[in-house]
Chain A
Amino acid sequence: MADETTTAAAPEAVESPEPANEEPQKPIDPDFEPEIIVFGCHYCAYAAADLAGSMRLQYPTNIRMIKLPCTGKLEIIHLLKALEAGADGVYAAGCLEGECHYLKGNLWARKRVEYTKKLLEEMGMEPERVEMFNMSSADGPLFAQRANEFTERIKRLGPSPVKQAKKAPAAKEGTPA
Chain B
Amino acid sequence: MITAERKPFEEILELLEGKEKVLVAGCETCVAVCLTGGEKEAEILAAELSIKAKEDGRTLDVDHISAIRQCEWEYLDAIAEKVEQYPVVVSMACGIGIQSMAERFPEKLVLPAVNTNMLGMPQEHAVWIERCGACGDCVLGVTGGICPIVRCSKSLLNGPCGGSHDGLCEVTGPNKEEIPCAWQLIHDKLIAQGRQDLLLKVTPPKDWSRSNSGGPRTMVKEEAKPV
Residue ranges of A at the interface with B (Cβ–Cβ < 8 Å): 75-77, 80-81, 83-84, 119, 122-125, 161-162, 165-166, 168-170, 173-177
Contacts and interface: CB of A to CB of B under 8 A. Distances in A.
B57 A123 contact: no
A165 B56 contact: yes
Contacts of B57: 165, 168-170, 173
Contact of B48 (A80, A170, A174): A80
A124 B54 contact: no
A173 B19 CA distance: 12
A76 B55 CA distance: 19
17 contacts: A77-B44, A77-B47, A80-B44, A80-B48, A84-B47, A122-B9, A123-B48, A123-B51, A124-B52, A124-B55, A169-B57, A170-B57, A170-B58, A174-B20, A174-B59, A175-B59, A177-B19
Interface in B47-86: 47-48, 50-52, 54-61
Most chain A Cβ neighbours within 10 Å, of B20, B21, B43, B59: B59
B177 interface: no
Interface of B: 8-10, 19-21, 40, 43-44, 47-48, 50-52, 54-61, 87
Contact of A161 (B20, B43, B47, B54): B54
Contacts of B51: 80, 83-84, 123, 125, 162
Contacts of A81: 47
Contacts of B54: 84, 161-162, 165-166
A77 B56 CA distance: 20
B21 A122 contact: no
Contact of A77 (B9, B21, B40): B40
B212 to A, nearest CB: 33
Contacts of B44: 76-77, 80, 119
B37 to A, nearest CB: 14
A177 B9 contact: no
A125 B56 CA distance: 11
Contact of B61 (A124, A166, A176): A176
B187 to A, nearest CB: 39
A121 to B, nearest CB: 9
Given A77-B43, A165-B57, A122 B87 contact: no
Contact of A119 (B19, B20, B21, B48): B48
Contacts of B47: 77, 80-81, 84
A1 to B, nearest CB: 35
Contact of B52 (A77, A123, A168, A170): A123
A174 B58 CA distance: 9
Contacts of B19: 177
Contacts of A119: 9, 44, 48
A84 B55 contact: no
Contact of A125 (B21, B55, B58, B60): B55
A68 B92 CA distance: 30
Contacts of B59: 173-176
A176 B55 contact: no
Contacts of B60: 176
